[in-house]
Amino acid sequence: MPNQYDKEVILVVDDNIITCEVIQRNLEISGFHVFTAHSVNDAIQILSRQEIDLLITDYKMPKHSGLELIKYVRDHFQDICIIMLTGYGSINSAVAAMKEGADEYITKPFTDKELLDAVGICIQKQKEKRIDPALIYDETWARFGIVGQCQNMLEVYSKIEKTCKNDAIVLITGENGTGKELVARAIHYHHKARSIYPFIPINCPGIPATLFESELFGHVKGAFTGAVQHRKGFFQAAEKGCLFLDEISELPFELQAKMLRVLQEKEISRIGETLVKKIDVRIIAATNKNLEDLVEKGVFRQDLFFRLNVINIDIPPLRDRGNDIILLAKHFALKYAKELGKTEPAFTDKAISALKEYFWPGNVRELENLIHRSLIMNDEDIIDSVNFPDIMKFNVPYNQHLNLSLEDMSKKYVRDIVEQTGGNKAKALKILKIDRKTLLKKLK
């Protein structure tokens, strides 16, 4: 039977009738609709006929324990959030409850505020759990291979949608690890005409400067020492498809003029050959650097920059993507849990808080590696901040005090880290990766 109430529906289970009534009264005053049960069997009967958003259950009850009820709910009602009540102050019972799938626990006796705070946290979790999977996966993962639904990512999808309908040159910008190649692939594989032809990714920094021209344009036998046979370059290999020039900022300056000519004339000539060949290749370039700054410094040609910057798609850093951080974390958790033959893990509140507050210099790539490592190193089906690197456990939210200068922000960050580590300078040094002399100087 579906939930017919405007507010969230809560089921309170406790063999103590007075406790049930007190909790029910407090929750109903706050606007929730509350059912009560005094045994696990009664609770199961209610669950079978009424949709429940949140279960609050005592730990110790006659015949069947709250732990057994949690296990039953997790086996049959994945979307219900759970709060465990325990009157024993036992960390063991709380850990056992979390292992079975509880989202929160409260130790008796508790205040009205503690109860409502825990309920508020769980209701928020409930909303996150009930994000329409079709919205997430049909509109992003299933279509473009990209997980995310924040506003600035929706703008990226809109540009992909428009760009994949033409052959314009695209310049994708963004920090390392934001997913520039994913965007490039999405553009290519949603182009009706080109998607059946090759997508050739080129890592510009990975090619020695002396081999760059040969790798891109090819060469004929005898063109230089070691050229023992004819060889096609990447442009010919990508014929009718797409050539993805990753980190285009690293293209040697002496080759930039030739690249400009290729983009303008759509023709190439192999090293050692006078014959000019027409090419039909779409160009998508990417960079994690500001090309306009490089133009001002004289290390990147302005005319090449203008030629590349026909359509610009800027990918936001992970720290600016809000709840996408948790969406991605859960996506990677499910992905690697399947690979490792594990149950999909639950995220503790501390883990979620740490994930949201961290600066993410490595962006999505760093997040993926963190989740993968956490699943490998943790024997439990829980991801908690205790397994995160120290820099995350003692992280200061990056978006505070954005009006400070870089020098002042640096000083404040050092002070905050020392404060969060309880004045433990050894731990602070490990997190900050500076020597003691520098730390003392900054503190002074």
More confident residue, 434 or 327: 327
In the chain, ranges of CATH 1.10.10 domains? 406-443
Query: Alpha-carbon torsion 430, 436, 441, 444, what sign?
Result: positive
Q: How far apart are CA 416 and CA 359, in angstroms?
A: 15
Inform me whether the pLDDT recorded for 410 exceeds 80: no
User: Nearest 10 degrees: CA dihedral of 327, 330, 334, 337?
Assistant: 150
pLDDT of 3 > 60? The answer is no
The pLDDT of residue 378 is 85
Rounded to an integer, the average pLDDT of 122-133 is 62
pLDDT of residue 131: 47
Strand partners, 218: 232
Residue 207 CB partners (closer than 8 Å, separation 6+): 215
Phi, then psi, of 103 in degrees rounded to 5:
-90, -30
CATH architecture for the domain at 9-129? 3-Layer(aba) Sandwich (3.40)
Cis peptide preceding 109, ω within 30 of 0: yes
DSSP assignments along 335-346, one per residue: HHHHHHT-PPPE
pLDDT-derived band at 396 (thresholds 50, 70, 90) equals low
pLDDT in tens, 348-395: 888 888 898 888 989 999 999 999 999 998 888 889 888 898 778 655
Burial of 311 (0-12, 13-18, 19+ CB in 10 A): middle
Residue ranges of the chain assigned to CATH 1.10.8.60 = 318-393
pLDDT score, position 136: 44
What are the pLDDT digits (tens) for 297-334?
A: 999 999 999 999 999 999 999 989 988 999 899 999 99
- Tokens at 52, concatenated: 């429940």
What is the overall mean pLDDT for the chain? 84
Q: Which two tokens stand for residue 341?
A: 């033959």
Q: How confident is the model at residue 128 (pLDDT cuts 50, 70, 90)?
A: low
Q: How confident is the model at residue 99, as a pLDDT?
A: 67
- Could you give the CA distance from residue 164 to residue 157 in angstroms, rounded to a whole number? 11
Q: Where in the chain is the domain with CATH 3.40.50.2300?
A: 9-129
C-alpha distances (whole Å) from 284 to each of 163, 239, 306 are 11, 14, 14
pLDDT (tens digit per residue) in 261-277 = 999 999 988 887 778 88
Task: Fold for 135-314, please state it.
Answer: Rossmann fold (3.40.50)
β-strands 231-232, 218-219: how paired? Answer: antiparallel
> In CATH, what class is 318-393?
mainly alpha
Q: What percent of the chain has pLDDT over 70?
A: 85
DSSP element (H, E) containing 370: helix 363-377
Chain region(s) in the chain for CATH 3.40.50.300: 135-314
pLDDT one-digit tens code per residue, 138-186: 444 557 888 888 888 889 999 999 999 999 999 999 999 999 999 999 9
What is the third-level CATH fold of 406-443? Arc Repressor Mutant, subunit A (1.10.10)
